[in-house]
Amino acid sequence: MIRDALNVIFNMRVGLIIGLFFEKIVFYYPLCYESSRQNLIFILYFGGIVRLFFVVLFGVALFFPSVGHTDTLQLTLAQAVSLALAHNPRLEIARQQCLQSRGSLTKAWSGYLPQLDVSGGYRRQHVDKLQPLDEDNVGYGSVKLNQLLYDFGKTTGAIDVGRFELEASRANMYQLYQDVVLDLKKSFYDVMAKKRLVEVARLAITIYEQHLYRAQKYFQAGVRPKIDVTNARLQLSNARLDMVQAEANLKVERKNFEQVLGLRPNEGDYLLVSGERSLEKLAAGKPAMSFSLDLLQAAAMEHRPEMKQVGFLVQSAKAAVGKARGDYFPRLDVGASYDDFETD
């Protein structure tokens, strides 16, 4: 707020200077050779208006950009998870793969539907070296209907392949959903941890600056040797180096967080906010382990999305084998067609 007020004062001074400059050019110089009282009043009156105009113009016009500056975004963990689920590119790829698998299944089901083929054409027929001259306009049309009766499991195998691949794609999407949430939470708290380390490094610099100050005073008083001042300077230099490293680690972790998030919130002007309770309260409120480890492992093998995905892929491969075996057998179809020709 203080910076905005200083900007306004500076802009008004600039406007006042420009107003005085235009006053000289527009009013004073054309009338400098006339010394009547009327001309003097004219200069003072309209010169004041010009100065006021430029002061208001520069003060207001240049003040609004600073006022329009966006505030820092306060981003909680729940908001970050929602943004990641909406913008993470891996989830979008998984969604598109599900749609592709659904389209393949629909295509496989179409093998059981009747196949209708309609065609037609129109041409002019001319026979050379024929007396009398033979020219004719010919139009024709054809309608064909074909229905599959049995193909020894080829179409059924294609449907099973499409169905199991769709289920595998869904399981993959659910797994990516959990991975993105886990990666987002991990990166969220890593950013906050790196931020705390930056604060620790900044505090260490303050402490070592105080150590250096005391060492210099003790040395000047003759109480401590010169080596104490040198050691204090070395410790301060190392603390500043740690500060640079901590800030670099924070920037890297923020980039990793934005990569998992799938976007850069508020053009990078955001602050992660944790609503978690203190560590002692979190430890006291942790749930008790109500099941044995073997039971939890068995439940994980049964319900984990990646395990389901592998099972569906195995079933899809078996269905593909049945589909391939159907190519060794004939295909039974029933069909009907109708053709019509018309000539002049």
106 closest CA partner among 25, 180, 161, 176: 161
Question: Phi and psi (nearest 5°) for 153?
Answer: 90, 5
Report pLDDT for 201: 96
| pLDDT attached to residue 294 | 86
pLDDT on residue 242: 96
Are 81 and 181 contacting, i.e. CB atoms less than 8 angstroms apart? Answer: yes
The pLDDT, as a whole number, for residue 70 is: 59
| SS3 track for the chain | CHHHHHHHHHHHHHHHHHHHHHHHHHHHHHHCCCCCHHHHHHHHHHHHHHHHHHHHHHHHHCHHHHHCCCCCEEEEHHHHHHHHHHHCHHHHHHHHHHHHHHHHHHHHHHHHCCEEEEEEEEEEEEECCCCCCEEEEEEEEEEEEEEEEECCCHHHHHHHHHHHHHHHHHHHHHHHHHHHHHHHHHHHHHHHHHHHHHHHHHHHHHHHHHHHHHHHHHHHCCCCCHHHHHHHHHHHHHHHHHHHHHHHHHHHHHHHHHHHHCCCHHHHCEEEECCCCCHHHHHHCCCCCCCCHHHHHHHHHHHCHHHHHHHHHHHHHHHHHHHHHHHHCCCEEEEEEEEEEEEC
Amino acid at 6: L
Write out the chain's pLDDT in tens, 344 residues: 444 544 544 455 545 455 555 445 444 444 444 444 454 444 444 455 545 554 455 454 444 444 444 588 899 999 999 999 999 999 999 999 999 999 999 999 998 899 999 988 888 777 666 666 667 788 889 999 999 998 888 899 999 999 999 999 999 999 999 999 999 999 999 999 999 999 999 999 999 999 999 999 999 998 889 999 999 999 999 999 999 999 999 999 999 999 999 999 988 899 998 876 666 676 677 777 778 888 888 888 888 888 888 889 999 999 999 888 888 888 888 988 888 877 66
CA distances from 158 to 92, 100, 165, 311, 323 (A): 26, 15, 11, 18, 6
Between CA 170 and CA 167 the distance in angstroms is: 5
Q: What is the pLDDT of residue 49?
A: 55
- Amino acid 64: pLDDT: 46
Query: How many other C-beta atoms lie within 10 A of the C-beta of residue 284?
Result: 9
Domains observed in the chain: 2-69 (no CATH), 79-116+153-276+299-336 (1.20.1600.10)
Note the pLDDT of residue 138. 80
Q: How far is it, in rounded angstroms, from Cα 246 to Cα 235?
A: 16
